[in-house]
Structure 1
Amino acid sequence: MKWILYNSLEECTIPHLYEILKLREEVFIIEQDCIYDDIDGIDYVSSHLLMLDDAILAGYLRMVPAGEKFNEISLGRIVIRKKYRGKRLGKELIQKGLEESAKKGSEMIRIEAQAHLEDYYSEFGFKTDSEIYDVDGIPHLQMLVNYKEIQD
């Protein structure tokens, strides 16, 4: 797999932006049957991490700067293309997202996770930091990790 990190939306190529938005639509809107405003304005201030298999976008996440959505930097829109699931690529994507977030000087990293993935994210050291709440009809919760602590 090849990694590409765009530190701003302006850096992102048009073909990559198209593939990002298409993948997010396929998974979060169509597959999960959830009509919501995916293009929420936060993409402009976020960094975008792409996992490519040759020219195919296999996975993606965005890193939202501290102060934009939460007090801490946060990982969001974490997605693996359906045909790449079950190959531990999600773990690679999250680990790379944590590493890149730490390089930006952030020790504390937050996610807003779908509640059924709580155990999955705890494998990376994330600890639940909220009660379950609704986001567009899907139960979510916030989780937080101190990246420095999980590296020691």
Structure 2
Amino acid sequence: MLKIEVKTFSELTKLELYNLLQLRSEVFVVEQDCVYQDIDGKDIKAIHVLGFKNEKIIAYTRIFKPGDYFEYASIGRVVVAKNDRAFKYGYDIMKASVQAIENHFKVKKIKISAQAYLKSFYNNCGFKEIGEEYLEDDIPHIAMIKA
């Protein structure tokens, strides 16, 4: 079971920030072989949902209030460490992220930009595809909504 913590940017410790950026880089830059600007200036506005296992961040998302990223609230940078994916922690971190949006922003409608190969995972989390697939950083993505 993951221990979940939800923090604003200013509440993150330096070590937590370092570790979450390291996890994002391991997966989105190295594992997915994608050169892109992960540190995009949006972390400061985001609320960070951290999933700890044995005191180590192994799952993470960042959430935004409506208007900060999309018209609706949103969840981004959804990541689980490669060696921990078999434990289905993605579902735990997504459930915690949806709950954090409801708690912090008092809304239920959420939009995400999902990597297309994870469509069924997000369907299982209650999201439905809208529109056509598109390329983002040379990776096929699809917009999805949970209402």
Question: Which bin holds the TM-score, normalised by the shorter protein?
Answer: over 0.9
Task: Describe the superposition over 1:78-116 as per-residue Cα deviations: whole angstroms up to 9, x where unpaired.
Answer: 000111111111111111111111112011011110011
Question: Take 1:102 and 1:126, find their aligned partners in 2: how far apart are those partners?
Answer: 15
1:128 aligns with 2:133: no
Q: Which amino acid aligns with 2:49?
A: L
Q: Which amino acid aligns with 2:117?
A: H
Q: TM-score, normalised on structure 2?
A: 0.95
1:141 aligns with 2:106: no
Task: Describe the superposition over 1:129-152 as per-residue Cα deviations: whole angstroms up to 9, x where unpaired.
Answer: 221111010010110001xxxxxx
Task: Describe the superposition over 1:30-71 as per-residue Cα deviations: whole angstroms up to 9, x where unpaired.
Answer: 000000000111111000000101221110000022101101
Question: Take 2:120 and 2:55, find their aligned partners in 1: how far apart are those partners?
Answer: 32
Q: Any idea what SS the aligned residue of 1:39 has?
A: coil
Structure 1 runs of 4+ aligned residues shifted over 2 Å read none
1:97 aligns with 2:97: yes
- For the 8 Å contact 1:42–1:64, the answer to whether it is kept is no
Q: Which residue does 2:116 correspond to in 1?
A: 115
Q: Any idea what SS the aligned residue of 2:141 has?
A: strand
Question: Take 1:91 and 1:107, find their aligned partners in 2: how far apart are those partners?
Answer: 17
Unaligned stretches of 5+ residues in structure 1: 147-152
Question: Take 1:117 and 1:102, find their aligned partners in 2: how far apart are those partners?
Answer: 23
Q: TM-score, normalised on structure 1?
A: 0.92
Q: Which amino acid aligns with 1:121?
A: Y
Question: Take 1:44 and 1:107, find their aligned partners in 2: how far apart are those partners?
Answer: 23
Q: Percent identity?
A: 35
Q: Which amino acid aligns with 2:39?
A: I
Q: Which amino acid aligns with 2:57?
A: L
Question: Take 2:100 and 2:84, find their aligned partners in 1: how far apart are those partners?
Answer: 22
